[in-house]
Chain A
Amino acid sequence: MEKSSPVQKTVVLQPFVKLVRLVARAFYDDYTTKSDNQQKSAKSDNRGIAAVVLDALTRRQWVREEDLAKDLQLHAKQLRKIIRLFEEQKLIMRDHRKETAKGVKMYSAAVAATTDGRAEDKVKLHTHSYCCLDYAQISDVVRCKLHRMKKKLKDELEDKNTVQEYGCPNCQRKYNALDALRLISMEDDSFHCENCNSELVVECNKLTSEEVVDGDDNGRRRRREKLKDMLQRLEAQMKPLMDQLDRVKDLPIPEFGSFLAWEARAAMAARANGDLNPNDPLRSQGGYGSTPMPFLGETKVEVNLGDGNEDVKSKGGDSSLKVLPPWMIKQGMNLTEEQRGEMRQVAKVDGGSGGAAKLSDDKKSVIGNGDEKDLKDEYLKAYYAELLKQQELAARLNQQEYEIQLATTSPGRQVAKKAKREEEDVEWEEEAPVAANGNYKVDLNVEAEASGGEEDDIDWEEG
C-alpha cells in the first residue's frame, strides 16, 4: 500500500513530500485530538499523531478515509477529526460521495491501478470521504503563514502603527479604530457595540502585552529584547522550512486533480494496461501547475479542459477535432480552442515541416495522376481555374471567419491570434497573385505551397 504510485513520475514529488513533512513537524507536532479539559495520561498522549497522518498522506494520492484509518490503526473518528483540521488549514482536499457499489468498484480499480493490485472490494451504500494532499495549496498556505508570523513580530518590534482593534465581549463583533466615530456613545464617552450596546474592550493581540503594564523604559526595553529574540528564533527554526519552500517554488506542482478526475484517469490507465502512457495528462498538468506563485483554484478547470483535449487529440490522430464553422460560434459558448479554430495554428506549425510537404505531395500526385490520365492542356487549365476559384472562395470565407472570430474571441487571446492570422494573411496575399498571374507551368510548387499555407482553409472547406 505504501508505494509511490507509477502515475507520479514526471513531476518530482520528493521536494513536496519533504515540505509536507517539515510542515507537519513545524506546526502540527504537538497537536492532540484531546481537548484540554481531558486529563492527559501518558498512555493517551497522542501528540504527533497529526504528523503521522500527514506523512501517511504523502505516500498516497486520493485515499478513502476509512482505508487510511485502517492502515494507521487509528479510530475513524479520531482520524476524521485530524483530517478536518487539515481541511480547515487548507492542506488537503476532500471529497464526499454517496457510494454505490459501482463507485466503490471504480475506486478499487483506481487503487489497483495506482498501487499495483490489492484493493479490497467493499460494497456498501455509505457516504465515503476521500482526501488527498493539495500540494499547490500547501505551499501557498505555508508561505502565507510564515509571512504573517514574521510580519506580526516585525510590526510589533518596530512599533508599527497598527490600527487598534476592539471587540465586543458580548456578541464577539470586531471593530477597529476607524469605526471609532460611530462607536462613541454620548453617555459615558466609551465605545459601545452597535449591536448589543455593551461596552467594547480593547482587543489585545500583542504577544508581549502583559509587560506593557509597567510601561517605563525598562519594561519597554525588555519587551523589545524579547521580541527580537522571538524573531530570531523564528528565523532559525523556520529556516529549513523556508529553504524547502524556496526550492519548491519553481518546481512543477504535483496535481492529482479532483477526486473524480483522478479516479477516471486511474481507471483509464488501468484500462490501457500500460500501453497508453498514463503520464501524459499528468505531464501536461505539471506544465499548467508550474507557474511559480498563485496556484489558484481556476487552474483545476484548465487542467480538466486540457485533459479532455489531449484525449481527443490522441484518439483523433490526424483527423483533428472538427472546427466549428464560425457562424456556430457564439459569445457564451464553452468551446475548446481547437473548436474555435486554434487547432489550425497547431496544424500549421506541423505543416511547416511535414504537413506542408505531405500535402503538397498529395496535391502533386493528384495532379500527376491527372496529367497521366489526361494530358490535354484544356483539362489542366480548367482544373486550375477551378482551383483558383475555390481559393478565392476560401479566402473570402477566411476573411469572414477572421472577422467573426475577432468579434467572438476573448480580447486577451485575440491579440496573439490576430498577429498569427495576419502573418497568415500576408503570406497568402504574397502568394496569391503569383497564382493569379496564370503562370501555370511553374506554379505547380507555388500552388502547392500556397495551399500548404492555406491548408486550414481548404481543410475547412472540404471538411
Chain B
Amino acid sequence: MFFHIVLERNMQLHPRFFGRNLRENLVSKLMKDVEGTCSGRHGFVVAITGIESIGKGLIRDGTGFVTFPVKYQCVVFRPFKGEILEAVVTLVNKMGFFAEAGPVQIFVSKHLIPDDMEFQAGDMPNYTTSDGSVKIQKECEVRLKIIGTRVDATEIFCVGTIKDDFLGVINDPAAA
C-alpha cells in the first residue's frame, strides 16, 4: 500500500555546498540519500514530493559539516499481509517462484501455487497446468496475495500465494 507521509531527517552538508544554491543542494542530496531506501517502519521510500521545512543548521564541532533538520513529504510503499499485488516473476525453481512488485521481493512457495500446476524443469523453468493453457515463468506478470511479511530494519520480504480466486498469471509477455 502506498502512503503519502511526512518524514524528518538530519542532513549533513559539506561546507562546499554553502552558497546561493544551498537549498537546492540540500534537496538533491536528500533525494539521493533517501529515495529507494527501505525502513522497516515506513516501508520503501518511493519518491520525495516536497519539502515541508528546513530547520536551522548546526555547525558540527571539529568538522565544517552543518546539520540541517529537514522535514519532507514523500510517497512510501509498504506491503501488508492480505494485500493483493501485481508482480513480475523473476525466478522459478522447484521450490516455487520469486516475484517483484516494485522494490518488494515476494516468494510464492510451491504449495501455494494451485495444485494443478506442475513444475517443468529445463532451460526455462516454469509451472504449467496439465493442459498447458497457463504457464508461470520468468518475466510473466502475476497477481498474488501477500500472506506473510518479514520486516527487518532495512529490508522487507514477503511470502505470497496465488492459490485463490482471481489470482495467478495476468499477462505473459512470452506468450503474446
Residues of chain A touching chain B, judged by Cβ–Cβ distance below 8 Å, are 159, 161-164, 166, 177-181, 184, 189-191, 202, 212, 215-216, 220
Residues of A within 8 A of B148 (CB): 163, 177-178
Tell me the complex Cα distance, A9–B15, Å: 83
Please state if A177 and B159 are interface contacts (CB–CB under 8 Å): yes
Contacts A163-B147, A164-B109, A190-B95; A178 near B159 (Cβ below 8 A)? yes
Give min CB distance, B20 to chain A, whole Å: 46
Please state if A161 and B112 are interface contacts (CB–CB under 8 Å): yes
Give min CB distance, B101 to chain A, whole Å: 14
Please state if A181 and B93 are interface contacts (CB–CB under 8 Å): no
Chain A residue with Cβ nearest B109: A164
Chain B residue with Cβ nearest A165: B109
Residues of A within 8 A of B163 (CB): 159, 161
Chain A to chain B contacts (Cβ below 8 Å), 19 pairs: A161-B112, A161-B163, A161-B164, A162-B147, A163-B159, A164-B112, A164-B159, A177-B159, A178-B149, A178-B159, A180-B96, A181-B98, A181-B105, A184-B91, A189-B91, A190-B94, A215-B115, A216-B116, A220-B115
Does B69 sit at the interface, judged by CB under 8 A? no
Residues of B within 8 A of A189 (CB): 91, 93-94, 125
Does B107 sit at the interface, judged by CB under 8 A? yes
Residues of A within 8 A of B107 (CB): 177-178, 180-181
Interface 1/0 per residue, B88-107 and A, CB below 8 Å = 00010111101000000101
Please state if B116 and A215 are interface contacts (CB–CB under 8 Å): yes
Please state if A161 and B115 are interface contacts (CB–CB under 8 Å): no
Give min CB distance, A341 to chain B, whole Å: 45
Give min CB distance, A291 to chain B, whole Å: 33
Please state if B109 and A177 are interface contacts (CB–CB under 8 Å): yes
Does B68 sit at the interface, judged by CB under 8 A? no
Interface 1/0 per residue, B102-137 and A, CB below 8 Å = 000101011110011000000001000000000000
Please state if A164 and B111 are interface contacts (CB–CB under 8 Å): yes
Tell me the complex Cα distance, A239–B164, Å: 34
Please state if A180 and B98 are interface contacts (CB–CB under 8 Å): yes
Interface 1/0 per residue, B14-34 and A, CB below 8 Å = 000000000000000000000
Residues of B within 8 A of A159 (CB): 163
Please state if A178 and B109 are interface contacts (CB–CB under 8 Å): no
Tell me the complex Cα distance, A179–B109, Å: 11
Tell me the complex Cα distance, A143–B115, Å: 34
Chain A residue with Cβ nearest B94: A190
Please state if A178 and B150 are interface contacts (CB–CB under 8 Å): yes
Which 6 residue pairs of A and B lie closest in terms of their CB atoms, listed nearest first?
A164-B109, A189-B93, A161-B147, A180-B107, A178-B150, A177-B159
Give min CB distance, B165 to chain A, whole Å: 12
Mostly helix, strand, loop or mixed at chain A's interface? mixed
Please state if B147 and A202 are interface contacts (CB–CB under 8 Å): no
Interface residues of B in 144-176 (CB under 8 A from A): 145, 147-150, 157, 159, 161, 163-164
Tell me the complex Cα distance, A215–B125, Å: 20
Tell me the complex Cα distance, A212–B117, Å: 12
Chain B residue with Cβ nearest A209: B111
Query: Per a CB cutoff under 8 Å, which of A181, A190, A212 touches B115?
Result: A212
Residues of A within 8 A of B149 (CB): 178
Chain A residue with Cβ nearest B150: A178
Tell me the complex Cα distance, A379–B139, Å: 106
Tell me the complex Cα distance, A191–B109, Å: 12
Query: Per a CB cutoff under 8 Å, which of B94, B95, B116, B164 touches A180?
Result: B95
Residues of A within 8 A of B164 (CB): 161
Give min CB distance, A199 to chain B, whole Å: 10
Chain B residue with Cβ nearest A163: B148
Give min CB distance, B82 to chain A, whole Å: 10
Tell me the complex Cα distance, A182–B50, Å: 36
Tell me the complex Cα distance, A191–B96, Å: 11
- Given A164-B111, A177-B107, A177-B109, 10 other A-B residues pairs in contact with their CB atoms under 8 A: A161-B147, A163-B147, A163-B159, A164-B96, A164-B109, A177-B159, A179-B150, A180-B95, A190-B94, A215-B115
Please state if A202 and B110 are interface contacts (CB–CB under 8 Å): yes
Chain A residue with Cβ nearest B161: A161
Give min CB distance, A11 to chain B, whole Å: 44
Give min CB distance, A461 to chain B, whole Å: 56
Tell me the complex Cα distance, A177–B149, Å: 10
Give min CB distance, A132 to chain B, whole Å: 42
Tell me the complex Cα distance, A178–B149, Å: 7
Tell me the complex Cα distance, A177–B109, Å: 7
Residues of B within 8 A of A190 (CB): 93-95
Chain A residue with Cβ nearest B146: A161
Tell me the complex Cα distance, A179–B148, Å: 11
Tell me the complex Cα distance, A6–B147, Å: 56
Residues of B within 8 A of A220 (CB): 115
Chain A residue with Cβ nearest B105: A181
Give min CB distance, A91 to chain B, whole Å: 34
Residues of A within 8 A of B115 (CB): 212, 215, 220
Interface residues of B in 15-62 (CB under 8 A from A): none
Residues of B within 8 A of A177 (CB): 96, 107, 109, 148, 159
Tell me the complex Cα distance, A216–B161, Å: 19
Tell me the complex Cα distance, A181–B148, Å: 14
Give min CB distance, A183 to chain B, whole Å: 9
Give min CB distance, B22 to chain A, whole Å: 40
Give min CB distance, A92 to chain B, whole Å: 37
Give min CB distance, B40 to chain A, whole Å: 14
Chain A residue with Cβ nearest B92: A189
Contacts A159-B163, A161-B161; A202 near B112 (Cβ below 8 A)? no
Residues of A within 8 A of B150 (CB): 178-179
Chain B residue with Cβ nearest A179: B150
